[in-house]
């Protein structure tokens, strides 16, 4: 009686196939397509892994790093708020910011309440002022506070006020906002 060797299960690449045609040791199944070329599943996983590594690399590069500059300071940015109030003029001298000024300087005094609330942080900060009646625009430097001004009002040096209207007007309706600290016209 001839010796029949059953097919090796490791060579059966298609478990759903009927093994009976391969009962002889001379007839093994033909090489499977999956053994010759990598499967799409493996290619998909490799491509996905490469994409994830690529993305994580760029996310790491894009994340901010702390500054190595030891002189760096954090600056609080105030949202630009346009205030509408009245504009008046006054004769300048030594302001609350500790600087001596002349009437010919473009000087602004903000309300005492606003000055105290910021602790004088607005000293030397430029202000853009617009006369709402005629649209004239001028810039003044904050150097003082004004006791009689409302929180939306500004008191200006004579030379600054004259850029917006004549001194004889005395009081005008203005819109204004602080410029970024360090900005200069």
pLDDT tens, residue by residue, 36-93: 555 566 777 888 899 999 888 878 777 666 666 555 555 555 567 899 999 999 999 9
Query: Cα(131)–Cα(133) distance, rounded to whole angstroms?
Result: 5
94 touches 140 (CB < 8 A): no
Cβ neighbours of residue 85 closer than 8 Å, sequence gap 6 or more: 149, 150, 151, 152, 153, 154, 173, 174, 176
pLDDT digits (tens, 9 = 90+) for 114-167: 999 888 899 999 999 999 999 999 999 999 999 999 999 999 999 999 999 999
pLDDT at 56 (0 to 100): 86
pLDDT at 19 (0 to 100): 52
146 touches 140 (CB < 8 A): no
Could you tell me how far CA 109 lies from the centroid of its own chain? 31
Cβ neighbours of 101 (radius 10 Å): 17
Cβ neighbours of residue 173 closer than 8 Å, sequence gap 6 or more: 84, 85, 86, 87, 131, 132, 133
Q: Is 158 helix (H, G, I), strand (E, B) or coil?
A: helix
pLDDT at 11 (0 to 100): 46
157 touches 106 (CB < 8 A): yes
Give CATH 2.40.40.10 domain extents, the chain.
83-178
Q: Which pTM was predicted? A: 0.58
Fold of the CATH domain 83-178: Barwin-like endoglucanases (2.40.40)
Residue 103 — pLDDT band, cuts 50, 70, 90? very high
């Amino acid at each position: 009686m001839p010796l029949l060797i059953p097919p090796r299960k490791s060579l059966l690449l298609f478990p759903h196939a009927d093994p009976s045609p391969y009962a002889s040791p001379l007839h093994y199944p033909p090489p499977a397509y999956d053994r010759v070329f990598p499967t799409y599943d493996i290619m998909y996983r490799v491509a996905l892994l490469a994409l994830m590594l690529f993305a994580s690399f760029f996310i790491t590069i894009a994340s901010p790093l702390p500054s190595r500059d030891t002189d760096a300071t954090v600056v609080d940015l105030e949202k630009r708020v346009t205030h509408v109030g009245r504009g008046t003029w006054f004769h300048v001298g030594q302001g609350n910011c500790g600087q001596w000024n002349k009437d010919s300087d473009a000087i602004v005094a903000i309300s005492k309440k606003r000055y105290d609330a910021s602790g004088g942080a607005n000293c030397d900060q430029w202000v853009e002022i617009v006369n709402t009646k005629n649209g004239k625009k001028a810039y003044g430097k904050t150097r003082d506070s004004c006791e009689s001004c409302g929180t939306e009002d500004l008191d200006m040096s004579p030379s600054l006020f004259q850029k917006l209207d004549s001194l004889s007007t005395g009081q005008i309706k203005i819109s204004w906002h602080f410029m970024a600290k360090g900005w200069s016209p």
